[in-house]
Structure 1
């Protein structure tokens, strides 16, 4: 009783901010500590909670603990875009740490579906305590330092027992780039004395905020997609260690309390994750969380708001690997001290709840060790049983033209340890042809069956219409892959590996006339810019043609690039050859030498059907009211994939910008409230003078509403509740939410003769929609590049009302204005950096927009 009373007094003192008590406030009950090991306060020079700790100091402290203690060691598992280290602090008893590789070998037997383990008593649990996936939810990383110190330095018998039973893999900062962006903000505007006023600048972080990584990606949505190095490093680590428990610590609104699992039930009719995960494992852990939070008087809630439907969160991905993945959400102080409806909340208070939950996770794991290990041991064997009981024995997929898109999709499968094999002969499945050398099969009977389901299966019916996030994640559609399920596996070659998943090119022979480069490949826009950036004249074919290459007639489609050898400005033929060869190898695209201009089909390589391309000089508006997510996706596509520079101009500075320096301007979703009438007129005039404006999603609706594009939006009456009669108030939220499109996949009919669609072979293309922007088809019959199919629904949730509107709507429209054009995307072709299937549509707008002639 006395200990509980003392803890309550300390808690009240910290709420009114007495930093000197911070250290005891967190871990007084775990004394004594090894005095030779510095505490966080001793190392940093301030108590935890006094400031936001920079990532370099967090890393330095982890290395210090490993240096001073035989209970800890550091493992670096990657680096961020900004070259910051991603690391695990491995914590265990000295003997377990010394024998970690042997223990790991025994642990991996548990996740081997061919081995049934019955005795887990001598095997420590693997616990991954992971913190800080959102950089501006900083309390968790501060708690990580406290947890690390407690486990490494405490001489308390209880802690020593933990370290005999578990091996902790502590990841202090999943998103270092975002964390430092936020830490610098919070520390820069920290008041002295502290200012709790919620309107103070400290609590209102500037655009884009620290939530996201370098390219403004939400890393908590990226694990299934594997786009960023932070996620790729984690995926590799996960599949190397297979922890029993994984934590995911977050923050939410300042007026909230504390959340722990279970989450809302999945909205899927048949969730892939076994029900035992939620109904048994989550329950026994929740009992421990509740008991420990009750002890310190913290309020909490559970089983609402957050859902487990999307398998790509930090708190859901490892549920598909036999682990228990756990979400925690703490009300945020959004700085160091902030007012809330129930009083002031301090940074120290937010840290403490995550600290307590971290310890509670260890307690619950140890108490349920047999249950956790048995569940994980059964998990993969049960998945194989389900796979073998299914009539679907595999999925055949592949694009017959685009080797790099095939390679990128295979890379994602390999990240998830999914087995794939090349098919040994040409196939036809359900009227879909698959070509040897371009096609692969994924058997369902494999360890990662649940992930295979997640990436290939599509769903249209759900038991709930309210989603916390996206409702569709069939990655095979993200990549615009032709695919079919098969009831019998075809003949296949050796398993694809990272070493064999390569694009092989033939040697490019020299030409004195021209080089031809098909535009079928995903990276063709990057190769095109590279050639232009090195001063080469490049032309594009707007008609198909055939030409003799090394004695063999070859067919080339619209969009084929031609690099003349003679018609170059001050570039000799040797330099032309070297540049084409180097660019071809850099982007993995085969180029061909043309010996002369005669074509066996077409009008010759000197025909007017070959148009000289302008090098794009692109600018994108950012900051202000612009969506940082969508802007980051474009930035990443330009730099990280296509190696093209992109100028990013703050919305607030457009009035100072000479926009005529650019021939392409990009406007992603935003309400652009900082642009006055003069700036809107400048944009309209700039387009009319012959330039290209590209707008996506809500950016398209803004351009139309401002009369810059003379197109129309289809209105919808589903914004208001127009139901006849009465309904209970508790159903109101669901009635409103069901009309939102949180994220689903639909099919469009694409005009593949249009320059925006160069490089596409099939008219049916899947697109991703997470908005209610409905473009009316253009009045000009040649300007609707993409229109939703009559039956567009492929995957994910959509209400009947929205589906009816979609059937009459356009996905891509090109609108003429003066000598220029505005290219409107109703959807987001770059969603989360993973939509390889529609990225090229967007890049074609960049490269080929100036070619578009809109007939009157």
Structure 2
């Protein structure tokens, strides 16, 4: 530590000219506050800075200056800190708690205190391999804390600035390691050099390979949940969202292209007036340093779950920035070289310009936030809908996961009769719309992301609009929701309710203790410790006398499984049932513990791979072996009974294909998702076929404007819609569902023909399949309606489960997760006639 202090002291005495490239406009600076270059020992842009060093520098700023305070708001999956450097007047930093409470009251229309500071959130680096913004965050923090320039003094006087240097530390460090490892001396600007081309899964995503910029609405990961909990305490007036894009581009800032929705739920004042106002500031600042840029193209804010769109639904102004990336330290482009420092400077200038524009329009932003929430309280009155009635449909844990999202977004809901109701008359009315409303009409047909996101459909939550409400107890905590009663000891058998979302997790837990469980392939009625109960197909039975462990130990494990997963467990003293099959019936089939593997690596979708990994890791607590395709030839598949192939381009030769065929034929289960299902059909692993592919229409040809080609062709893509499918509830893949009509998510163009085998089409799109999102009439008639969503095909003594759609999309499709889990746990018993 002494050596480090001496080194910092020496660096403080050195004037580093490289720093002037960024900060010269904001002199003078406090001499006893180290610049990033002085602290790190290298100039910003010379190397990529690790997240721990970024946090250490911010800690140093908070230590040496009373203008800054470091606040933690969470930790990542890999344990890295998520922090804010809060910058403002020293007296305000001493009473953050009081200011936070006052700001919350003002946002909730419970206060009119105009003396409160403007709240600005400068947020950086949600995509880990878009690194320039975190380096800019270091410079911005230094400038806002150390500069005594009159403009910076004004910013500290008028605002509290929450600087979040790295939203995605796990992904950033994965990319940082890559870029620094391949950095050469001299620097290599060849776009084909390894430095500019990361290996799979690359650093864009978080630990589980999720795109965190899509997680603001879904709130699956700790990075997003920590930020959302902070957000709903402070309700910032302005939020930045810094990104990078292709190297050959320039720089993008808002305003965006027109929102695709026909009737956007965010106020027009937001996406027109405020965006245009701030856009003039950005243009002026970038003009002053000679940077080129563009606006109103490509990007849109239709999906409400971006870092730049979620604030727009909370009374703030979300601002997107996209910088052409050097993807390393320097890269050759058509306009010459683009350097890492150059990309950093554009982000730095835009960040400080955001603060300038906000401070100079502080009253406008405060008044806008007030008008936003006032309009939310009035918006519901334009329709007859007074709320949405929902129930748990017997699956308490799936409903609990949905309720968690309501609470995360501060959506009020209440107990109402046998269910719950979400009133529309509340400050979060626009989030209520986001959760429940569905759309079929749009003014634009090309989206940067999905066109459907009604969250209730993600969770397969039945709901209906109500014109009159019966509000009882408000639910403010998940502990208020009922849970299954604790199991009683049984000496004969236990039954686990398979309609509960956590049933598979409980099953795996008990199997890991060496217990043998069976699944009912027919429904029945039984006398239990809680009276006569009806049990559906899929119900899990644990026979006590057939285990190696004694009844006391078995009960202990059953109790532990209940405590972890809260699955309803019933105790039985007899195997004789009043109706349906008895417990010794051949229709109860013992289950082997899944031994699963997942093919990953170059050519496969890291998103879908991460979704499978995350589901098994965090909800089932079940290991899955991740097998790299590059090593497939020497992999021993006999260790596994289930293999998962997600979407991708599989360059497996005929020998590798035969290896998979032989393995499946020996009685194992292959699960394919999306384009992996197409691959299985194309390589003739199965006898199924695809709906005829798209062909150019050569009839009535007419000339179209070349400039509109991307828009015209783009509308035929299936970017993300919610469709209705009809599910065979008697099929093992349909066990656990109580209704045959289920919503599924479609974001690909994989169209599977219904099987020629009458028993193998497990789920097919209905004749009126549209639920939510943009879909052309041609796609609907020619591809959706004739196609299947889920098939099973026989291969020797095994089977292939083919998903046309992604049942695990973004970790949020609780409604279709069960289909995938059934394939894992029950696939061994699917016999295709």
Taking structure 2 as the reference length, what is the TM-score of the superposition?
A: 0.97
* 1:526–1:253 distance in 2 versus 1, CA, 3 Å: same
Aligned to 2:545, the other structure's residue is in SS state coil
Aligned to 1:249, the other structure's residue is in SS state strand
Do 1:96 and 1:164's aligned partners in 2 also have CA atoms closer than 8 Å? no
Aligned to 2:479, the other structure's residue is in SS state coil
Correspondent of 1:636 among 601, 614, 628: 614
Aligned to 1:500, the other structure's residue is in SS state helix
Aligned to 1:828, the other structure's residue is in SS state coil
Corresponding residue of 2:18: 22
Corresponding residue of 1:362: 355
**Cα offset, 1:531, TM superposition:** 1.0
Distance 2:533 2:778 in 1: 48
Correspondent of 2:734 among 745, 750, 757: 757
Aligned to 1:566, the other structure's residue is in SS state helix
**Cα offset, 1:595, TM superposition:** 0.1
Distance 2:630 2:348 in 1: 41
**Cα offset, 1:722, TM superposition:** 6.3
Distance 2:667 2:401 in 1: 36
Distance 2:206 2:477 in 1: 26
Distance 1:377 1:612 in 2: 61
Corresponding residue of 2:570: 592
Do 2:413 and 2:421's aligned partners in 1 also have CA atoms closer than 8 Å? yes
Do 1:110 and 1:376's aligned partners in 2 also have CA atoms closer than 8 Å? no
Question: After the TM superposition, which residues 257-336 of structure 1 pair with which residues of structure 2 at under 5 Å, given as runs?
Answer: 257-336=250-329
Correspondent of 1:81 among 77, 80, 86: 77
**Cα offset, 1:573, TM superposition:** 1.6
Distance 2:610 2:826 in 1: 22
* 1:144–1:788 distance in 2 versus 1, CA, 3 Å: same
Corresponding residue of 2:56: 60
**Cα offset, 1:723, TM superposition:** 5.7
**Cα offset, 1:720, TM superposition:** 6.8
Aligned to 2:541, the other structure's residue is in SS state strand
Distance 1:162 1:721 in 2: 61
Distance 2:271 2:767 in 1: 39
**Cα offset, 1:507, TM superposition:** 2.8
User: Quick check: 1:514 aligned with 2:507?
Assistant: no
Corresponding residue of 1:772: 749
Corresponding residue of 2:105: 109
Distance 1:308 1:62 in 2: 31
Q: Deviations over 1:277-329 (max 9, x none)?
A: 02211111111101110000000000111001011000000101110000000
**Cα offset, 1:499, TM superposition:** 4.9
Corresponding residue of 2:5: none
Corresponding residue of 2:654: 677
Taking structure 1 as the reference length, what is the TM-score of the superposition?
A: 0.94
Do 2:522 and 2:536's aligned partners in 1 also have CA atoms closer than 8 Å? yes
Do 1:768 and 1:831's aligned partners in 2 also have CA atoms closer than 8 Å? yes
Question: After the TM superposition, which residues 140-155 of structure 1 pair with which residues of structure 2 at under 5 Å, given as runs?
Answer: 140-155=133-148
**Cα offset, 1:718, TM superposition:** 4.8
Correspondent of 2:779 among 773, 783, 802: 802
Q: Deviations over 1:540-582 (max 9, x none)?
A: 10011111113721111100000011111x3122111111111
Corresponding residue of 2:519: 540
Do 1:114 and 1:381's aligned partners in 2 also have CA atoms closer than 8 Å? no
Structure 1: 5+ residue stretches without partners: 1-18, 425-435
**Cα offset, 1:719, TM superposition:** 6.0
Distance 1:518 1:108 in 2: 43
Correspondent of 1:839 among 806, 817, 831: 817
* 1:607–1:261 distance in 2 versus 1, CA, 3 Å: same
Q: Deviations over 1:1-48 (max 9, x none)?
A: xxxxxxxxxxxxxxxxxx964311000121221121111111111011
User: Quick check: 1:405 aligned with 2:398?
Assistant: yes
Aligned to 1:521, the other structure's residue is in SS state coil
Do 1:22 and 1:49's aligned partners in 2 also have CA atoms closer than 8 Å? no
* 1:723–1:24 distance in 2 versus 1, CA, 3 Å: farther
Distance 2:707 2:337 in 1: 31
Do 1:410 and 1:501's aligned partners in 2 also have CA atoms closer than 8 Å? no
Corresponding residue of 2:682: 705
Correspondent of 1:607 among 585, 592, 601: 585
141-150 vs 385-394, greater mean Cα deviation: 385-394
Distance 1:233 1:186 in 2: 28
Corresponding residue of 2:10: none
621-630 vs 19-28, greater mean Cα deviation: 19-28
Do 2:529 and 2:570's aligned partners in 1 also have CA atoms closer than 8 Å? no
Do 1:185 and 1:205's aligned partners in 2 also have CA atoms closer than 8 Å? yes
Structure 2: 5+ residue stretches without partners: 1-14
Q: Deviations over 1:172-215 (max 9, x none)?
A: 00000000000000000001110000000000001001000000
Corresponding residue of 1:473: 453
Question: After the TM superposition, which residues 397-796 of structure 1 pair with which residues of structure 2 at under 5 Å, given as runs?
Answer: 397-424=390-417, 436=418, 439-489=419-469, 491-550=470-529, 552-568=531-547, 570-673=548-651, 675-718=652-695, 724-796=701-773
Distance 1:112 1:487 in 2: 25
Distance 1:200 1:306 in 2: 29
**Cα offset, 1:99, TM superposition:** 3.5
Q: Deviations over 1:577-635 (max 9, x none)?
A: 11111112211112111101111112321110100111110000001111000000000
Distance 1:446 1:383 in 2: 7
Q: Deviations over 1:663-714 (max 9, x none)?
A: 00000001112x2111011001111111000001111101111111111001
Distance 2:182 2:164 in 1: 28
Distance 1:723 1:24 in 2: 63
Question: After the TM superposition, which residues 17-56 of structure 1 pair with which residues of structure 2 at under 5 Å, given as runs?
Answer: 21-56=17-52
Corresponding residue of 1:433: none
Do 2:518 and 2:589's aligned partners in 1 also have CA atoms closer than 8 Å? yes
Do 2:522 and 2:581's aligned partners in 1 also have CA atoms closer than 8 Å? no
Do 2:100 and 2:233's aligned partners in 1 also have CA atoms closer than 8 Å? no
User: Quick check: 1:851 aligned with 2:826?
Assistant: no
Corresponding residue of 2:6: none
Question: After the TM superposition, which residues 181-220 of structure 1 pair with which residues of structure 2 at under 5 Å, given as runs?
Answer: 181-220=174-213
Distance 1:581 1:102 in 2: 45
Distance 1:788 1:721 in 2: 28
Question: What value does the CA root-mean-square deviation take over the aligned residues?
Answer: 1.3
The alignment of Structure 1 onto Structure 2 pairs a total of residues equal to 818
Corresponding residue of 1:811: 789
Distance 1:160 1:291 in 2: 21
Corresponding residue of 1:94: 90
Distance 2:48 2:312 in 1: 32
Distance 1:265 1:534 in 2: 56
Corresponding residue of 1:11: none
Distance 1:195 1:475 in 2: 46
Distance 2:643 2:480 in 1: 36
Distance 1:462 1:501 in 2: 39
Distance 1:290 1:274 in 2: 24
Corresponding residue of 1:16: none
